[in-house]
Structures are given as C-alpha cells and as structure tokens.
A and B are shown apart, each in its own frame.
Chain A
C-alpha cells in the first residue's frame, strides 16, 4: 500500500519509478503482480483521438468605448456569447459561415495556439454602460485575458468499432465506412487508454491533474454522457462506450502538436485532443488494472449504416484482433483501421512519464470520485405533459 503523499515524496526526490501502461504489461510478466506493485509508483496512460465535445472559453478584454458582445464570430466561425460582456465559448465543431466544412471552431483554436491573428467580429444591442454596437478587430492568443480549453466530453472509456453493412459508402465521425463490410474503424488507444486502465475510476476523478494538449490540465467533472453502468467484462472493463471526462486546461500553454483541427469527410469539423493521465499504483489492485493488455479489452462492433439510436451490433472483438489488421465480421474477414493515433498517444505517455520522473509533475488525489451509478438518459419526443400546462 502506498499513499498519494508517499508517491509524491518520491517524485519530488526524483526517485519515483514511472512506466507507461504499455511497458507495465511486460514488467508484470517478468516480476509478477506483487513485486511490480511494490516497485512501481506511477503508470502513465494516454490517448490522442478525435473528440468533438471540445472548445474554449475566451475573454477578450474591454474596448473603449466598451461593448456587451451578443453575437461573436472568430474568423467567421460563430462563438457563443450568451455569457458576460466579453466572454465567449468557441466550440470545436462549429462551422465557418463563409467556408463551411473547410474551417471550424477547432481550426480557430489551432490558429490561436499557432500564434496566428484571428479576426474578431462582434455585435451588440448597446446599453447605457456598454454603448458600442459593433467591433471588428484582430486578436492573438496572448492578447486574451483568459483562454482555457473546457471540453465537456473527452477520453471516452472504450468506444464501439464501426462497420457498414449497406451497399453504399457512408461518411461518419468514425471515418469513411466502405460498403458491404468493407472496413472496420476503431478509435481508442486500447491498453494505453486512460479509463481502460482505471475501470472503476478509483484514481481518476474530479481534480485529477493530467496532460492536456501539451500542458498541465485537470479533470473538471464527469464528462457528458458518462455511462458507468455500461456492460462490463469480468475484469471490470466496459464492453463499449462508458465513462467520460470533462477536462480543463490553459490554452495559452498548449501546443499544436497535441491539439489539431480535423475534418471528417461529409461529417464535419472536430478536434484531435491529446490527453495523458497518470495512475498511482496505490496497491496491487491498481497494478492489476493497469497491467491489462489489448487481448483482455473488448469492444462491440456496431453497424453505422442504420441511422437509428439503437444500431445493430455484430458482437465483441478484442483490441488485439483490431490491431492485427483484420477481424471477422459476419463470417467475413474485414480490414481494420484506427482513427486515434497510437503513435501520438505513446509520445504523450512518454512525455508525462518524463515530467513525473524529473519531479516536475506530482499526482493529485481526486477531490471527488466520478459517479459509478449514472443512468444514461435519451431524448424522447412527445407533447408537453399535462402537469406542465399553465
């Protein structure tokens, strides 16, 4: 048994033993659970995948005379300004009013972190205290007072693999899916993925310090659609999309390498977000969780050609099979393709490992655990209920 304080003390002294969630697998083979649990202090996990539910809060500062911005656009991409006078939220998937799919909120964020000037246009109805009705100027990230990424839903704990049984190619957020089971796409970093290494959120919770977009960030809350009650395998790992995290971090310190705008053909704009999460090896149980390998992680193959909420599925497949390049679906051998970058996830896990090893990054105990019982609601379409009528 190790406490957070003990692990942090070792980190500060430069003595912490840190390995990645891939490295731990072989280490456990070699040393066994007990010995490895005693020797290893931290396991780093990471992912770098498309995460639509992302965006940034920006504060522009006050002009003279001041304006209470009610409509805001950045490089012609609308930002939400229904908050205080010069605050706005730019969502990653918002599309440009002039360029459509070619440019969106994620591109604005990427341009900001690249140091580019971004065109700001805002309108207002004018008030006694904020008389200006219109503003047109150019801003850079450093001109802003605050700019922080606030992503309502990131780091999905597992995600279904996608296939297309129809006779037409379909264009989805799971990439281009070829007809007649022409390919299978999947989008997690498997054995390296954060929430697959802490299936019951014992150490990842509200307040957890993480790597986000190249700098330090935090888990702010459970993510939207957090679904801990998803069916799980015996080892505790969910068999399809389950838990999620809401993340926050300083955009001003982020790097384009780990935050990239993306366009999914005929679907829309999204953003690839790089996230790394350290897991303290408090005891043997945590070690067992982090030692999980792709062979022991399964996901569900879902048919994206059925445009309904409940899509048909074709059973389970392991990440080891997905990573092998081919899987069998409905008796047919189908090539697989990843959407999230394992190469980038490994870079992130290695950077986080280095930060901790060098004593620059200590671990935090969650301020509050993520819920383990949370029913996922869906949106039903019906008339106003009688009790609600005035």
Chain B
C-alpha cells in the first residue's frame, strides 16, 4: 500500500477550507495528521500522511491540494539513528512525544519506529551521544 508524507503550507485565507474532508471524500484517502500548526488568520502548516489509496489517487489528491493554492512539499527530512554507536541510555525518549523512540523492559534497548516519526527533530539535540541525525 503506497504511503506519502507531505508538508502543507497554506495562506491565511485557506486555513478554514475543509481540505482533508475533500481528500477523504473525493479521493478515498486515509489521512494521518502528523503535525499541525494552524492558527486562524495566520499561515498554517500541516504534516500529513496519505495512505489507503492507489498511487494514482494519492497523486490526484496532491494535485487537488495544490490547485486550492496550498504549497506542497514532500517531507524533506528523515531521521537516521546510528544504532551501532547507541549506548541505550534513553535520553532521546524524553523528548519524543510521538513515541517513535521508546525504551522499555525487558531488554531496555532503544527501539526506533520510523512509522511513528514526525521528524520534529527534538531527539537530534537531546541525544547526548549526538548519533541521531535529520538528513535529506
């Protein structure tokens, strides 16, 4: 099943258009909102994941958003964890609100679930070993 993560930036005039409604209704897509910063009357930012449709539907959905005057960018960055250098302290898990980075019983080794990552980059600086990077 194809999945695409995109960053939407939309001008103040569009913050109240029900974009996601149309994506679901007309393009049959599932939308997972990863990150949102929308204040009415200001520029809005939304990081979403589109899935549950064919590649064609996803592309058509993206074209629709663009046609509405929204600026669309693929999620630029990706988090890379250098596992070999990891000491499994868990300091990075303190700042990962999306639970992509977790450490728990029984083995207390760090685990990184890319699917959950919203590339907020909080962990990059929180890792005392500096072994987490955000790369393009």
Residues of A within 8 A of B (CB): 48-50, 175-178, 183, 185, 260, 262-265, 270, 272, 323, 325, 335, 337-344, 346
Q: Counting chain A CB atoms within 10 Å of each CB, which of B90, B103, B108, B128 scores highest?
A: B128
With contact pairs A175-B126, A178-B95, A265-B126 given, residues A340 and B89 touching in the complex (Cβ less than 8 Å): yes
CB pair A338–B103 under 8 Å, yes or no, is yes
- Among A49, A323, A341, the residue within 8 A (CB) of B105 is A323
Q: CB of B24 within 8 A of chain A? A: no
With contact pairs A50-B128, A265-B126 given, residues A185 and B94 touching in the complex (Cβ less than 8 Å): yes
Q: Which of B106-131 contact A (CB under 8 A)?
A: 107-109, 122, 125-126, 128-130
A-B contact pairs, 11 of them (CB 8 A): A48-B87, A175-B91, A175-B94, A176-B91, A176-B94, A177-B94, A260-B87, A264-B128, A338-B89, A344-B87, A346-B108
A346 to B87, CA, bound (A): 12
Q: Counting chain A CB atoms within 10 Å of each CB, which of B88, B89, B130 scores highest?
A: B89
Q: CB of B9 within 8 A of chain A? A: no
B residues in contact with A262, CB < 8 Å: 128-129
Majority SS at the chain B contact face: loop
A49 to B89, CA, bound (A): 8
Q: How far is the CB of A274 from chain B (nearest CB, A)?
A: 9
Q: How far is the CB of A103 from chain B (nearest CB, A)?
A: 11
CB pair A185–B91 under 8 Å, yes or no, is yes
Total residue contacts A-B, CB cutoff 8 A: 70
Q: How far is the CB of B81 from chain A (nearest CB, A)?
A: 15
- Among A49, A50, A183, A340, the residue within 8 A (CB) of B95 is A183
B residues in contact with A272, CB < 8 Å: 87, 89, 128
B residues in contact with A263, CB < 8 Å: 128, 130
CB pair B125–A265 under 8 Å, yes or no, is yes
20 new A-B contacts at CB < 8 Å, known A175-B91, A337-B93, A339-B90: A176-B91, A176-B126, A177-B94, A178-B95, A183-B94, A262-B128, A265-B126, A335-B94, A337-B94, A337-B103, A338-B89, A338-B90, A339-B94, A339-B128, A341-B87, A341-B88, A343-B87, A343-B88, A343-B107, A344-B88
Q: CB of B17 within 8 A of chain A? A: no
Q: How far is the CB of A293 from chain B (nearest CB, A)?
A: 13
Q: Counting chain B CB atoms within 10 Å of each CB, which of A175, A178, A346 scores highest?
A: A175
Closest 10 A-B residue pairs measured CB to CB? A337-B94, A262-B128, A343-B88, A338-B90, A342-B108, A265-B125, A341-B89, A337-B93, A176-B126, A343-B108
CB pair A339–B87 under 8 Å, yes or no, is no
Smallest Cβ-Cβ distance to A323: which chain B residue: B105
A residues in contact with B126, CB < 8 Å: 175-176, 265
CB pair B128–A337 under 8 Å, yes or no, is no
A175 to B89, CA, bound (A): 11
A265 to B126, CA, bound (A): 6
A137 to B100, CA, bound (A): 46
Q: How far is the CB of A346 from chain B (nearest CB, A)?
A: 8
A residues in contact with B97, CB < 8 Å: 178
Q: Which of B46-96 contact A (CB under 8 A)?
A: 87-91, 93-95
B residues in contact with A178, CB < 8 Å: 94-95, 97
A2 to B30, CA, bound (A): 68
